[in-house]
């Protein structure tokens, strides 16, 4: 043997040899692996957050940061001082009032802490989903088995709270114990877990688009429908995120909306080819019938487009094995339904 380091000698053993470790049945093995991967997820997520901050904020002079930090510190100090003053005033009045004040302050503190914690967790979860999608895309290209396995395990952990997917998760967990390559595993996970969620997402977007178009068409003032569109859009993005396993808080929503809008801006150029002509024609036709109706249809189409962008931003996997929904799927019946002002055909049903 010329290089014993690389070539280890072949050897045969009896299976009852104590050194031979037979793997547990596939299901247990998958669960065990899942447990370890699940435990890693949290640590990994926080690590990834740190990692992400670096490229986003290039190393400019830290003055702005310094300003906000010191100003924030001052405000916090001021608040603390005010509360302390208030409490001492209360104690000066009467002890009972003072204790009441302390209790309230403590409650407020705990509540604020909890809110902050939840926001942070929500943000972390969103970051995990973003990361997961990126990794899944990479795995589809690289076809790396271990990466695929890690992605799918995380995906199973992510959809733990979705009861409809219990059976799909069990099947997927079983496949984790088999010899399947990275790309196939990720696509398999998509086929198992995503169809139901995708259908629901399509329904949500389709409904929102319809609602917006109808309300725009009948609302008495422009301001009313502007507010309505905004609320619907926010609600839509939030619900999509919840559907796909995110739990965005207020900060999370801000971050998500920023993603959606930037995604919309990025894909806007591409969208020109796929549906703008129809949109224009549709809008033109509707506008011939009535200016308000035309506006309604346009708003509806824009909402559907926003919904599409939101799906892409909130879905934990890229569209690979399944077909990506198009504006036609979501708002194809919009024109007709707006004209007839009835619910129209539901969003496309999965096969």
For 311, other C-beta atoms within 10 Å of its C-beta total: 26
Sequence-distant (6+) residues with CB within 8 A of 158 are: 128, 129, 132, 245, 316
- By beta-carbon proximity to another protein, the closer residue of 21 and 223 is 21
Distance CA 238, CA 246 (A): 9
- Residue closer to another protein, measured from CB, 191 or 211: 191
- Which residue stretch of 121-129, 181-189, 201-209, 335-343 sits at the interface with another protein (rule: CB under 8 A)? 181-189
Q: Which is nearer to another protein, 175 or 305 (CB)?
A: 175
Candidate list 2, 141, 223, 270; residue touching another protein; CB under 8 A: 2
Q: For residue 179, with 0-12 CB atoms within 10 Å meaning exposed, 13-18 middle and 19 or more buried, which class applies?
A: exposed
d(CA 137, CA 315): 12
Query: How crowded is the C-beta side of 134, counted as CA atoms within 13 Å?
Result: 8
Query: Which two structure tokens, joined as six digits, stand for 162?
Result: 């979705």
15 binds another protein (CB under 8 A): yes
Least Å from the CB of residue 347 to another protein: 17
In sign, the C-alpha dihedral spanning 328, 334, 336, 337 is: positive
Tell me the window of 15-23, 130-138, 162-170, 261-269 that interacts with another protein (CB under 8 A).
15-23
- Does residue 199 bind another protein (CB under 8 A)? no
State the nearest-atom distance from the C-beta of 342 to another protein, in Å. 26
Indicate the residue among 11 and 61 with the shorter CB distance to another protein: 11
Q: Would you tell me how many other CB atoms lie within 10 Å of the CB of residue 186?
A: 28
Angstrom distance (rounded) from CA 62 to CA 329:
48
Taken as a whole, the chain contains a residue count of: 351
Q: Is 33 in the site for another protein (CB under 8 A)?
A: no
349 lies in the site for another protein, by CB under 8 A: no
Of the pair 193, 229, the CB lying nearest another protein is at 193
Per CB under 8 A, 141 contacts another protein: no
If binding is defined by CB under 8 A, does position 11 make contact with another protein?
Answer: yes
Phi–psi pair at 281, nearest 5 degrees: -65, -45
What does the block give as tokens for 192? 């198992």
Query: Is 350 in a helix, a strand, or coil?
Result: coil
> For another protein, which residue of 191, 211, 247, 292 counts as binding (CB under 8 A)?
191
User: Given the rule CB under 8 A, which of 53-61, 177-185, 208-216, 219-227 is the region that contacts another protein?
Assistant: 177-185
**Residues binding another protein: what is the number (CB under 8 A)?**
31
**Contact status: 17 vs another protein (CB under 8 A):** yes
Q: Are 197 and 314 in contact (CB under 8 A)?
A: no
273 binds another protein (CB under 8 A): no
Give the footprint of another protein on this chain (CB under 8 A): 1-2, 6-15, 17, 19-23, 145, 171, 175, 178-181, 184, 187-188, 191, 321, 351
């Amino acid at each position: 043997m010329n290089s014993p380091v690389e070539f280890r000698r072949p050897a045969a053993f009896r299976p009852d040899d104590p050194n031979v470790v037979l793997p547990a049945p596939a299901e247990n093995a998958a669960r065990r692996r899942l447990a370890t991967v699940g435990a890693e997820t949290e640590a990994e997520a926080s690590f990834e957050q740190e990692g992400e901050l670096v490229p986003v904020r290039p190393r400019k002079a830290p003055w702005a940061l310094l300003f906000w930090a010191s100003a924030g510190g001052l405000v916090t100090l001021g608040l603390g001082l005010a509360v302390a003053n208030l409490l001492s005033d209360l104690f000066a009045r009467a002890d009972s009032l003072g204790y009441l004040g302390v209790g309230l302050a403590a409650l407020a503190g705990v509540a604020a802490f909890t809110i902050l914690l939840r926001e942070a967790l929500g943000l972390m979860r969103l970051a995990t989903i973003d990361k997961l999608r990126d990794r899944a895309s990479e795995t589809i290209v690289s076809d790396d088995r271990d990466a695929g396995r890690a992605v799918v395990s995380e995906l199973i952990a992510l959809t733990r709270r979705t009861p409809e997917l219990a059976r799909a998760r069990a099947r997927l967990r079983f496949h984790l114990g088999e010899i399947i390559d990275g790309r196939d595993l990720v696509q398999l996970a998509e086929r198992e877990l995503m169809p139901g969620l995708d259908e629901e997402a399509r329904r949500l977007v389709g409904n929102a688009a319809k609602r917006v178009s109808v309300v725009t068409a009948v609302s008495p003032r422009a301001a009313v429908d502007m507010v309505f569109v905004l609320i619907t859009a926010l609600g839509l993005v939030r619900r999509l995120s919840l559907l796909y396993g995110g739990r965005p808080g207020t900060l999370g929503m801000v971050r998500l909306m920023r993603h959606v809008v930037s995604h919309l801006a990025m894909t806007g150029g591409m969208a020109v080819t796929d549906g703008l002509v129809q949109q224009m024609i549709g809008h033109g036709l509707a506008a011939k019938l009535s200016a308000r109706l035309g506006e309604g249809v346009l708003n509806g189409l824009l909402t559907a487009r926003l919904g599409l962008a939101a799906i892409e931003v909130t879905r934990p996997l890229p569209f690979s094995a399944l077909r990506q929904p198009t504006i036609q799927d979501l708002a194809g019946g919009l024109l007709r339904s707006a004209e007839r002002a009835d619910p129209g055909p539901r969003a496309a049903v999965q096969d």
